[in-house]
Amino acid sequence: MSRATSAWQIDPISGPPASTAAFLDKDGTLMEDIPYNSDPQKFVFAPGVVKGLRHLSQAGFRLVVISNQSGVARGIFPKVALEPMEEKLRQMFESEGLKLDGVYWCPHHPEGNHPEWAVECDCRKPAPGMIKKAATDLNIHLASSWMIGDRDSDIGAAKNAGCRGALLTSSTQQCIEPRPDLVASTFFDIALGIVAQSQILTGHQNIKATQNG
Ligand SMILES: [Mg+2]
Ligand SMILES: [Zn+2]
């Protein structure tokens, strides 16, 4: 299977070229934030998200969902509920002709009440655990990748993982610290900004031209 890569990522010393990813927050970013929703029937892409995902995908970014789901630790829904949620996300991407390269959930929260999941962990954003795991699993080059989210914890996770952070300001709070690398009020504008910045940083005027397949 061919994989979209870009010439600037090829490092002859460290083996096969790594991919670039857009790490995607789910609630308040890909879709409306319905607190502790575990019902896949309520999953709907927010306006402009599909267009933005397509733009990122065409520019060679792999698409990976990175989501805190403390509803598990809080006993609001069981961990097995994450399976149909992941399946629904895959269907949503597939039905738009998009490939979802990975889904990573953090079920933890230190103040939860479930004995197994109410713990400090290294994956709840702003910790970088999920992004780092995805980078290892999928051979992703973090310094050229982005985390897109609507919270300061998303930007914090980006910084802690060594990638760049893009803040969507349309839904919740403004992020002041840590400072995002890109701020926009729609997902599509974020996607445009990320692709434009990646082209400027690498001197590639057309990332598409370097893609395989
Ligand atoms: Mg969010
Ligand atoms: Zn966790």
Determine the pLDDT at residue 209: 42
Query: Does 27 qualify as catalytic in the annotation?
Result: yes
pLDDT value at 180 more than 50: yes
d(CA 76, CA 59): 38
122 C-alpha to ligand 2 centroid (Å): 6
Q: Which CATH number fits domain 34-210: 3.40.50.12780, 3.40.50.1000, 3.40.250.10, 2.40.160.60?
A: 3.40.50.1000
pLDDT of residue 204: 47
Which bound ligand lies closest to the C-alpha atom of 37?
A: 1
Alpha-carbon span 149 to 165, nearest angstrom: 8
68-82, 117-131, 170-184: which has the minimum mean pLDDT?
Answer: 170-184
- Please give the distance, rounded to the nearest whole angstrom, from the Cα atom of residue 65 to the centre of ligand 1: 11
Residue 14 is predicted with a pLDDT of 52
Ligand 2 centre to CA of 45 (Å) is 25
Q: State yes or no: pLDDT of 6 exceeds 60.
A: no
- pTM (2 decimals)? 0.86
pLDDT at residue 2 is higher than 50: no
Residue type, 162: G
Please state the rounded mean pLDDT for residues 51-77.
97
Among 25, 101, 152, 154, which one carries the catalytic annotation? 25
Q: How far apart are CA 132 and CA 208, in angstroms?
A: 26
Domain boundaries, the chain: 34-210
For residue 179, give both structure tokens. Answer: 């400072």
Ligand 2 centroid to residue 65 C-alpha, Å: 14
Reported as a pLDDT band with limits 50, 70 and 90, residue 178 is confident
Task: Find the 23 Cα to ligand 1 centroid distance in Å.
Answer: 12
In what side-by-side order are the strands of the sheet with 20-24? 102-106, 61-68, 20-24, 146-149, 164-168, 182-184
Ligand positioned closest to the Cα atom of 123 = 2
Q: How would you classify the pairing of strands 20-24 and 164-168?
A: unpaired
Ligand whose nearest atom lies closest to the CA of 125:
2
